Amino acid sequence: MEEVGFYDKWLEVLHKFVMPLQQKVFNGHIREPPYAGANFVVRYTPDVQRELRPHCDSSTYTINIALNRPRIDYEGGGCYFTRYNCSVTDSRLGWMLMHPGRLTHEHQGLPTTNGTRYIMVSFVDPDV
């Protein structure tokens, strides 16, 4: 976000839209203003980076925002939570997936089989 001059605007988005939801889901974790330590766009393609191995994020919670359309711009992809045997696939354009980081929610990026999938990722740490 900093490289494209959008970091300050992203913090406004976190404050106005994400923080109220975050306070309901992750009660007790608050920081005014919100802090997002890492913010970046990930590109998945069948030829270059089609998936991401299982890992835990280094954040209190993570936000993934779908930047394009499943079954139109790409096929496959999604997020699989290993501990819970749960997949989130076909996220609609602009929709957000929010999940805890660190140790409790190991997850992986499922293979993108066709086209190019883009997601915006933000590692949020309201307690920093």
Q: Can you give the CATH number for the domain in which 92 is found?
A: 2.60.120.620
- pLDDT tens-digit readout, 23-77: 888 777 677 777 888 899 999 999 999 999 999 998 888 999 999 999 999 999 9
Residue 86 inside a domain? The answer is yes
Residue 111 inside a domain? The answer is yes
Q: What is the pTM of this model?
A: 0.88
Q: Whose CA is closest to 80, among 60, 107, 57?
A: 107
Residue 45 domain boundaries:
36-124
Task: Please state, in angstroms and rounded to a whole number, the distance separating the CA atoms of residues 37 and 109.
Answer: 21
**How many structural domains are present in the chain?**
1
Residue 25 inside a domain? The answer is no
Residue 109 inside a domain? The answer is yes
Residue 21 inside a domain? The answer is no
